[in-house]
């Protein structure tokens, strides 16, 4: 059993920021990540640019420089791995923590590496910074599990000339529709809302509306996909069911935290389905277990949350510092 004073689960931007803040109070936390460092950002569309300016994404006091107004996905990957390396953050990648069990004032963490070998750790403090992106909001409809359906959009090239249905009306859905239309895909956006989402970037919305008005993109409001088949989908709208020819479906319906893992750890859930934690300290109802990053968000998971989630580590570090002072 490997003994640590603090373990952080998740090496996203907010997990790394928390590690750096814990270093500043004299701890040397181990970060355990079941995939690669900042995995969620590596899942973003290949040519995506952030909404945020670079200074709002900075961690660890390291400047984020870019030649553009808004940094790209590639620049963010480089920035965060550089920040981790410069602060010498200890990262155990490609290892999943499967359970956290209280034991004599500490926690025993069971894990498993990518080869199926079990690992056991003991830690006084645990920070859960696992993000959302492994748990998409599924539709629960026939055909959703087929290979033609994806909950992620990476790039448009594979869809050249294809009939693509996008389910959702968020920024990610609108951006994907525009990219797909540019490469010659035949795009239908299926959205259950009555009108465009207020969250759509204001500089993007006019261009999208123009594409819809010209018939380059089909936009279906007050509509849902009810079945997905090999060569078509069924859409239920205000006028009933319609069968639409289709090659691929992008279900960009958002993500949610791993509620089962959190519940088994002893963390309670609020009525809205979000984990219980104290806003001032980020500590959950289980003393010694903290949340950091988008897992503590009550909004859709997106890069904007880095702006505030990067400060969670500071709250956690201050609470641990005070706890250690009062106990020792």
Determine how β-strand 240-245 pairs with β-strand 232-237.
Answer: antiparallel
Domain span holding position 239: 149-251
Q: pLDDT tens digits for 244-291?
A: 999 999 999 887 777 888 899 999 988 777 889 999 999 999 999 999
pLDDT recorded at residue 37: 95
Q: Do 172 and 122 have their domain in common?
A: no
Q: Do 154 and 195 have their domain in common?
A: yes
Q: Do 153 and 235 have their domain in common?
A: yes
Judge whether 106 lies within some domain.
Answer: yes
Global pTM reads 0.81
Judge whether 142 lies within some domain.
Answer: no
CATH number at residue 307: 3.50.50.60
Q: Do 27 and 92 have their domain in common?
A: yes
Judge whether 159 lies within some domain.
Answer: yes
Cβ atoms of residues 167 and 174 within 8 Å:
no
**Cα gap 43→144, rounded to integer Å:** 20
Q: Do 233 and 268 have their domain in common?
A: no
Q: Do 32 and 131 have their domain in common?
A: yes
Looking at 229, 251, 273, the residue that finishes a domain is: 251
Split into its structural domains, the chain has a count of 2
Q: Do 63 and 205 have their domain in common?
A: no
Would the pLDDT of 133 be above 60? yes
User: Mapping DSSP to helix (H, G, I), strand (E, B) and coil, where does residue 316 land?
Assistant: helix
- Measured CA distances, 211 to 36, 170, 245 (Å): 37, 17, 20
Q: Of 94, 31, 83, which is closest to residue 60 (Cα–Cα)?
A: 83
Judge whether 144 lies within some domain.
Answer: no
- Measured CA distances, 87 to 8, 81, 82, 105, 171 (Å): 15, 10, 9, 29, 34
pLDDT recorded at residue 328: 56
Judge whether 294 lies within some domain.
Answer: yes
Q: pLDDT tens digits for 138-158?
A: 899 999 999 999 998 989 999
Phi, psi of 151 (to 5 degrees): -95, 5
Q: pLDDT tens digits for 83-93?
A: 999 999 999 99
Judge whether 188 lies within some domain.
Answer: yes
More confident residue, 15 or 198: 15
User: Mapping DSSP to helix (H, G, I), strand (E, B) and coil, where does residue 24 land?
Assistant: helix
Judge whether 285 lies within some domain.
Answer: yes
Looking at 251, 286, 304, the residue that finishes a domain is: 251
Q: Do 223 and 317 have their domain in common?
A: no
CB within 8 Å of 305: residues ≥ 6 apart: 293, 294, 297, 299
Determine how β-strand 2-9 pairs with β-strand 149-150.
Answer: unpaired
Site of tokens 């309670």: 268
pLDDT recorded at residue 50: 84
Q: Which two tokens stand for residue 316?
A: 């956690």
Looking at 215, 234, 251, the residue that finishes a domain is: 251
Q: Do 244 and 279 have their domain in common?
A: no
Over the range 36-61, which residues count as b (16 or more CB within 10 Å of their CB) and which as e? ebbbbbbebbeebbbebebebbbbbe
Q: Do 63 and 127 have their domain in common?
A: yes
Q: Do 94 and 8 have their domain in common?
A: yes
* Average pLDDT score, the chain: 91
DSSP state, residue 284: B
Q: Of 102, 26, 11, which is closest to residue 318 (Cα–Cα)?
A: 26
User: Mapping DSSP to helix (H, G, I), strand (E, B) and coil, where does residue 294 land?
Assistant: helix
Type and span of the H or E element at 73: helix 73-86
Give the whole-number percent of the chain exceeding pLDDT 70.
96
Q: Do 35 and 130 have their domain in common?
A: yes
pLDDT recorded at residue 304: 46
């Amino acid at each position: 059993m490997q003994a640590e004073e603090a373990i952080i689960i998740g090496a996203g931007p907010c997990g790394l920021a928390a590690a750096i803040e814990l270093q500043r109070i004299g701890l040397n936390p181990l970060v355990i990540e079941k995939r690669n460092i900042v995995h969620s950002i590596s899942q973003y569309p290949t040519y995506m640019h952030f909404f945020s300016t670079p200074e709002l994404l900075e961690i660890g006091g390291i400047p984020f420089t870019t030649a553009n107004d808004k940094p790209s996905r590639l620049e963010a990957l480089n920035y965060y791995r550089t920040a981790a390396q410069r602060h010498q953050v200890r990262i155990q990648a490609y290892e999943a923590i499967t359970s956290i069990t209280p034991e004599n004032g500490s926690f025993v963490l069971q894990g498993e590496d990518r080869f199926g070998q079990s690992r056991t750790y003991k830690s006084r403090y645990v920070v859960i910074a696992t993000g959302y992106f492994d748990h998409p909001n599924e539709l629960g409809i026939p055909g959703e599990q087929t290979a033609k359906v994806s909950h992620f959009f990476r790039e448009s090239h594979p869809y050249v000339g294809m009939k693509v249905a996008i389910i959702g009306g968020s920024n990610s859905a609108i951006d994907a529709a525009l990219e797909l239309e540019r490469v010659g895909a035949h795009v239908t956006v299926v959205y259950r809302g009555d009108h465009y989402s207020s969250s759509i970037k204001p500089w993007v919305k006019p261009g999208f509306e123009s594409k819809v008005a010209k018939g380059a993109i089909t936009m279906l409001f007050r509509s849902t996909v009810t079945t997905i088949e090999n060569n078509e989908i069924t859409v239920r709208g205000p006028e009933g069911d319609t069968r639409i020819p289709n090659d691929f479906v992008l279900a960009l319906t958002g993500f949610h935290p791993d509620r089962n893992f959190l519940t088994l750890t002893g963390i309670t859930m609020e009525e809205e389905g979000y984990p219980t934690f104290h806003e001032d300290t980020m500590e959950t109802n289980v003393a010694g277990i903290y949340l950091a990053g988008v897992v503590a968000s009550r909004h859709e998971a997106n890069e904007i949350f880095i702006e505030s989630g990067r400060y969670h580590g500071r709250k956690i570090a201050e609470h641990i510092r005070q706890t250690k002072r009062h106990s020792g």
